Amino acid sequence: MVGTLGANQETGCSGRSQIEPGAPSPERRLPALKKLKEHGFKTVVRINPLIPHFPDGYYSYPAFDRTGVKEFPFFSWDMVDAIADAKVDTLLAGVVRLYRPNLNFMKKALGYDIREIFAKDAKWERASLHFSEPEVSYYYRELARLSRAKGLRFSTCYIGNDASGESFERYQDLWANKGDCCDAKGNVEGIVATSADAPKKSAKVPPGASGCHAVGSMLANLDAARLAAVAARGTPIAPAESTLG
């Protein structure tokens, strides 16, 4: 069973309840993941969308003016420590891309326009706004470094998180499991292939395959009996759904 901590991932920051009303807090999810790990489950924290805490270019653009820059309350590097403390196996991250309905919803919920987090010259690509590749690369590579230092396996969620759509190959060197961004293939019984193994012109996923949204339900089916046994012992298992997708 893969335990998933979806977006929003901040700890001790404001904003989560506004953009994900009703979603369990990280303070509830992490203990649940730790309990699952204690009962023999493989656990993965999936931070997607990862909403950077500074505007695009803060880390990657040398001439970026950091004077009085606004920090957004949706991310902290300290989260890696909290995830490691929960004995999680793998950290999976995907930098945010936002469509117009997402932007409109967040503006209404937060009281300000989240577009200011993107570069001023950001263009709409594939109907959504994206962070620049250099900035995305900084977040992924720094998270990979911090994860390794804490004994966590790391991977990136490639679906749609850069304007070119090339994230799958671009950041594959950072994956602990080069054959599966979800880190299930070879690590979870019954997962023997990934959605990437499907023929290019076929939408059919091979039997026993993992692949982002599909992997959760497939692994839940594989380990339903074990999960039920944990629940029967009185272990609280908080749901981890995201309203942002």
Q: Give me the chain's average pLDDT, please.
A: 78
Whether pTM > 0.75 for this model: the answer is: yes
**Cis peptide bond upstream of 49, omega within 30:** yes
**Rounded to the nearest 10 degrees, what angle do helices 213-222 and 224-232 cross at?**
70
The confidence score (pLDDT) of residue 167 equals: 62
Of 49-53, 103-107, 201-205, 222-226, least confident by mean pLDDT is 222-226
Structure tokens at 234: 């009185």
Distance, in Å, from the CA atom of 2 to the CA atom of 89, rounded to the nearest integer, reads 10
Strands 44-50 and 209-210: unpaired
The confidence score (pLDDT) of residue 240 equals: 41
Distance, in Å, from the CA atom of 25 to the CA atom of 63, rounded to the nearest integer, reads 37
Helices marked H in the chain — which ranges? 16-19, 26-38, 79-85, 100-110, 133-149, 167-170, 213-222, 224-232
User: Environment class of residue 210 by beta-carbon count within 10 Å: exposed (0-12), middle (13-18) or buried (19+)?
Assistant: buried
Confidence category of residue 201, pLDDT binned at 50, 70, 90: low
Confidence category of residue 123, pLDDT binned at 50, 70, 90: confident
Confidence category of residue 69, pLDDT binned at 50, 70, 90: very high
Of 28-32, 111-115, 213-217, least confident by mean pLDDT is 213-217
The confidence score (pLDDT) of residue 179 equals: 85
Structure tokens at 78: 């300290």
Segment 53-76 mean pLDDT:
94
